[in-house]
Amino acid sequence: MNIKVLGACCKRSLETYENTKLAAKALGLDATVENIGDPGEIAGYGVMRTPAVVVDEKVISQGRFLRQKDAEALLKKHLGL
């Protein structure tokens, strides 16, 4: 599974990236978690608010700062765990 956290220019986004990494690990997911900062790539997903979370090329959250437990809840819901 591939998880991307879009947005790398502010604390809000960078912390969401860290928290998502922790969440994926806590859930025991076999996933690579990347941080994307390139504006063209971000816009390519149709995202206009960072931070955003993309799982296997599908946007599942945008414009929301995620704590670890928020990220866990989000991933669980998306994956139907």
Strands 52-55 and 32-36, by their bridges, are unpaired
**DSSP code of residue 41:** H
User: Of the two residues 73 and 81, which places its CB atom closer to other proteins in the complex?
Assistant: 73
Taking the complex as a whole, how short is the minimal distance between the CB of residue 32 and other proteins, in angstroms?
21
Rounded CA-CA distance 25/16 in Å is 14
Q: Using the rule CB under 8 A, is 75 a contact of other proteins?
A: no
Tokens of 46: 């149709």
List the interface residues with other proteins, window 7-26 (CB under 8 A).
Answer: 7, 9-13
Which residues contribute to the site for other proteins (CB under 8 A)? 7, 9-13, 39-50, 59, 62-65
